[in-house]
Every structure is written in C-alpha cells, then in structure tokens.
Chain A
Amino acid sequence: MTVRRALLPGALLVLLAVWPWVAPRYFVFLASVVLVNAIVALGLNLLSGYTNQLSFGHAGFFAIGAYTAAVLTLRAPGVPVLVTLAVAGALTALVGLAFGVPCLRLGGLYLTMATLAFGFVIAEILLNLDTLTNGADGLRVPPARLGALAFATDTSRYYLTAAVATVLVAAAVNLVGTRTGRAFLAIRESEIAAQASGVPVAAYKTLAFGLSAFYTGVAGGLFAFVVGFLSPDAFDVFLSVDFVVMIIVGGLGSVPGSILGATIVTVLHDGLAAFQNYRPLIFGAILIACMLFMPGGVTAAWSRVARR
C-alpha cells in the first residue's frame, strides 16, 4: 500500500524533472505558470478548503508578493532569489495576518465581500504608489539571481518554480497531519464543535489567513520572474475568481485537488487565449456545474469512481 501511495507522487516528480526536455519551449513556460497557480491554489485551499473562509481577494495577496519580489530585485539585485521569495511570502503573510484579524468577525457572504474589497484596494494602492510600483506603466522585472546564477531562460525559471513548488507542496501535505492541520479541519466541520474541543478558533483562523497569504505571496514572487513584467491591470477580480475556480474544480481541502485544479484552469485559460470575452462565462459555467454535479471537485469524483 505504501509503495502504491508513493508511486504517483514519484512519477509526478520524475515528470516534473524531465518536462523541459520532452516539451516544446512554450509548454515549459506554461508549466511554470501552472506551478505558480498550483501554489496559489494550495494557499487558497488552506484558507477556504480547510477553515472554510472563502476568499475572492487572493489576486491582492498575489500582487503584493509579485511587487515585493520585483521591487526587491530592482533595488537590491544581489539578494539571492530564495531570500527574495521568502521576503515576498513573509510580507504578504503579515498583510494576511493583519487582514485576517478583522475578518474573524465576518462569516459567509460578508467575509467574501471583505476579501473582494481587499483585492480592489490592493490594485488601487499599486496604481497610486508610483514611486515604488511605477503605477500604470508597469514594472519590468530583472531575472532572479542566486549567486552567480541568473535565471534568464525558460528552463531555468521552470526549475526554480518547480523546486519551490515541490517544497511548498510537501509542506502542505505534512501540515494536514499536524495539530494545526487537524485544528483547521475541525474549524471547517464546525466552529462551535472545534471551540468546544479546546481549539482556539480565532487564533487558527488568523493563522490560516497568514499561511494562505504566505503561499500566495511566494507564488506572486515566482510569477514576477516567470512573466517578467508587472502592471496593476494584471491583478483584477477575475484573477481572484480564477483562483477560486481552481480549488473548486480541483477539490476543496485537497492538496492533489489544488494542483489538478490549477492545471485544468491554466491550460483551459491558455486554450481560450483568443476568446477572453467568453472566459468569465465559461469559467462561471464550470463553477456552477462543479458545485451541482461534482461537489468536492475532480478529486472527490475520482475517488468515488475508484471506490466502485
């Protein structure tokens, strides 16, 4: 059983390692975007899937991470990329914690509204903080560096993204089994029951916000390097909705689901490159269909099929 369990992740890791050698150049870039989105989906899932707080503002956290990494790389080119990403994640986490505290009082629809507003506010701040973000003109991001190594090619950026994603996925998988992970799940099932069992609900809900923001911030930093150009226009509400679609399609509260959802949505998004107009319509339809016919997303549907 344990051998079989290790089989799929092992195969995925091998695929991850050889991908740039088997795939055409564009798909190496696309895979980097998939990995970035998978990290965001994981982060969002920690919040929405595990503690049941749905966020429509993750584009905001994503933007903070992206701009932090970009500005840091521009101002201090010598900083190693891993430090840059850690700073991007940490700063985003701080914002997440600060935002999570007032959100404790909010539930359901009101929380969603607050996160939605958060996304708008961040985009507006980026637009108006000209001296740092270059406003509407956008910011060109120089290649990430690690000592003498510059991540200037698609393949190198891909490996950077893949390495960071692997570490973060492993961390998320392990988290679920810890006291914190169990506390998150208890909160999802019932806040009152969790409280009655001695779980400090407020602390864990805030922690979930911070953790989720950390993941999203790191992903934002990677995004800045993968795409190479940032502008406030990139981080609109549709991006937040895309993130939510990823975890709902993939499966709420599931690590493989996050990765699968991110892959499906990113590839679909790419396939629809000529029809952005219809994208919200198509993604909206998918979202509704998933909620009606496939609660728990692709992963839950798959395990139902597998059980039969």
Chain B
Amino acid sequence: MHFVFCLVTVALALGAAAPAAAQQGVTDTEIVLGCSNSFSGPLAYTGEQATRFGVDLYFKALNDAGGVNGRKVRTVYYDDGYKPQEAVANTRKLVEQDKIFAVIAPQGTPPVMATLEYLEENRVPLLFPFQGSPVIRGKKYVFSGMTLYDRQSRMMIDYLVGPRKLKSFGVLYQDDDYGKAFLAAFEKDLARHALKLTATESVKRGVTDVSAQMAKLRAAAPQAVFLVLTPGPGAQALKERQKIGWNDVVMVSSGPLTDEKYLALAGDASEGVEGLSLWPDPVTSDLPGMKTYREAMQKHFGKNEPNRYSLSGYFAAMLFTEGARRAGKNLTRETLVSALEGINGFQSGILPPVSIGADHETQRQGFWVRVEQGRFKQLTDWLKSD
C-alpha cells in the first residue's frame, strides 16, 4: 500500500511537469477536427444532421476547392448517445488518440458541460457547441454557437412587451439547465418592464405528457405561454392546447425549439404558434449563403432535406474556416483563438454580419416567426439583443 502511494506522488509530480503538446492536429496539408455527438438516443437526428450533413458538407466543398491555406480539413466523430460519461471518454479519445486540433459542434448541455473542464485544462478550443447555456461564457478556449439563452429571452420579452403590448406570461419549461437558464432570464427581463411571470410549470426531461401542466397554466390565464422544451413535449403541449380548446393565448417557442421537426410532430395544432427563429428558413430563404448551402446539399447529399441542424453545423464549419484563414500558415490553438476574436463584420450570406470579439459570442440575434400553413413566416427583421 505504501509503495502505491509513493507511486501516486511520483505520478502527480510527473503529471504537473508534463507540458501540453502544442499544435497537434495541424500539418502543412491537413487539419483534424472532431466532436462527440448524438448519433443514437433522443437527439440522434440533430447530431447526425449537424455533423455528417452540416460540418462535413461545408468541409467537402472547402476541400474540393483546395482547403484553407493549403490544408484540407478532416473530421472524426464519436457517438455519445447524449450520455455525459460517454462524451467525456469520446472527447478524451479525440484529443489524446486522434490528436484533434479543436472540438467543433458538439451537442447538448450535459455532454458539453461534462467535457468543458477537461478541454480548458488541456487548452483545446471548443468551437460553436449546439447549446446556448450562458455557463460557457468567459472561457478562453470556448466560442459559443447558438445565440445564448439570456439573449434569446431578452429579444422575446422586449418584442412581446414592446411592439406586441402583451402583459402576462406563463412558461412551460424543461426542468434542466436549458429550461432554468431561460426561466431566470425571463424573470430578469420582465422585471425591467416591471412585470412578473404569471405562472410557471416544469416538465422533466424525457416526459411527454404535459396535460396537467397545461391545465394549470390555463387556470392562470396568461396572454402568452413560452415553451422552453424539446420537439416531443413541445408538440404535445400544442396538441393539448388544441384539445382543451384554449384559443385566447399566444404560444411562443424558444429558439432551439423553433424548428421543422417540432412543427411536423404537432401537425395542424401548430397553426398560429409564434417563436424566435435563429436561422433563416433552410428551404425557402433566398439569401446568397442559403442558396450556396442548398446547392452544396443537393450536390453532396442529394437525398437529404435542408434543415436548421445541418445549417448550424455548416455555419460552424464556415466560421472555423474563416478563423483558420485569418490565422494564416502559422495555425496554432492560440492564433486560432485570436483570429476568431478578430472577426469583424464577416459576411456569411446566412446570418447578419458576424463580429466576435473578446466575449466569444458568435451569434446574438434572432427574428420573429409565426406558423402559417405549416411553415414559419418571418414577422420581423433581425432583432437585436445588445
């Protein structure tokens, strides 16, 4: 036993002295990126689309055109099935075995949170995760992807209280980081307008029956109800509202919820639902970047429908490429971080000009949509959250 503790002490000393390997994952001809994502489990569709049909879609087109500064980009993915412990093992495998340069576009608050400390410790950039919890703010090697939840809340409240003149609000939220981050932000933003939440109801993750919560919300009779849920229970809430005939209420979906999958699940119960959209309509938008995206999809994955998840991965890859281009031939983790911080007014042709800066936030906007005949119709221009 004594021997073992001696070894432990020696090992600790060695571990402290060992320097982190610099610039792994970059050669003159190649950059290796990767992530642990959901390819099975509840968010398998989202994960698959964001990575293999999103990130890879952009890199396919980029590599065909000669890559970035003469380097082609290769990606490695492992499946965590939305389980944090698998995400930890996968991320370590990516960093220590596959020697990736940076993590790009992982998904889900718990898996991302589980790897955060490890990545910071080992100075591996975590780029544009598909989650919006404000917890990832202020980390040196982390760049947020999705518009953070507190910004989303600010836009939603300011728009509904301002131009729409609504006064009473209820919330149906998922009982985890995602839901609670929104809940706290709603309360704070309403307080600025001297208002309070009328009713709040929570849904445990994985539960789809929300009838009791909807009945309680109805009893409180708010003018609008925010849905901070995932597509399954979100659609169920809309169906429940239709079933109980609660018509004098505006249902408002959070940014991550405002997607086609949720509409498809809700069917005709989704008519009239409003929400904050973080992305232009992937099928109908005629922005130049959106056309390029659809053409690339048609060319490389002809059978795959354009959608918001693949678009988010595609955009993440585009942003990485812009950072790598600016970092130039001497691409290291440090030069990448400063290059990304230096991005100012970058025209993606998809979102408004992107400026990143020291706060590492890549998106700060959204626009208002309402569902008409099964599609999101844009009601406002881009809303600001600053």
User: Which residues of A are at the interface with B, using a C-beta cutoff of 8 A?
Assistant: 17, 20, 24-26, 29-30, 33, 127-128, 130, 135-138, 140, 149, 151-156, 158-160, 162-163, 223, 227-231, 233-234, 236, 270, 273-277
Contacts and interface: CB of A to CB of B under 8 A. Distances in A.
Contacts of B110: 136-138, 231, 233
Nearest to B76: A274
Contact of A233 (B7, B16, B84, B92): B84
Nearest to B135: A137
Interface string B7-24: 111011011100000000
A23 to B, nearest CB: 11
Given A149-B8, A231-B110, A273-B93, A137 B85 contact: no
A276 B88 CA distance: 15
Contacts of B41: 276
Contact of A163 (B1, B44, B88, B177): B1
B15 A162 contact: no
A229 B85 contact: yes
Contact of B204 (A136, A234, A277): A136
B334 interface: no
Contact of B92 (A26, A127, A151, A153): A26
Given A33-B89, A153-B12, A137 B114 contact: no
B38 to A, nearest CB: 9
Given A137-B109, A155-B15, A163-B1, A231 B92 contact: no
A156 B11 contact: yes
Contacts of B78: 273-274
22 contacts: A127-B204, A127-B205, A130-B175, A137-B109, A137-B180, A138-B84, A138-B113, A153-B15, A153-B16, A155-B8, A155-B15, A159-B8, A160-B8, A227-B85, A233-B83, A233-B110, A234-B85, A273-B78, A273-B86, A274-B39, A276-B81, A277-B40
Nearest to B108: A233
B117 interface: yes
A26 B96 contact: yes
A159 B114 contact: no
Nearest to B11: A155
B12 A137 contact: no
Contacts of A136: 110, 174-177, 204-205
Contact of A138 (B15, B81, B114, B206): B114
Given A229-B113, A231-B85, A273-B78, 13 more contacts: A17-B7, A130-B175, A136-B175, A136-B176, A137-B113, A138-B110, A153-B15, A154-B15, A159-B4, A159-B11, A234-B86, A274-B39, A276-B39
Which of the listed residues B81, B85, B174 has the most CB atoms from chain A within 10 Å of its own CB?
Answer: B85
Contacts of A160: 8
A227 B85 CA distance: 6
B92 A29 contact: yes
B77 interface: yes
B82 interface: yes
A228 B118 CA distance: 9
Contacts of B204: 127-128, 135-136
B367 to A, nearest CB: 29
Which of the listed residues A26, A136, A160, A270 has the most CB atoms from chain B within 10 Å of its own CB?
Answer: A136
Contacts of B206: 127
B114 A228 contact: yes
Interface string B165-206: 000000000111100100000000000000000000000111
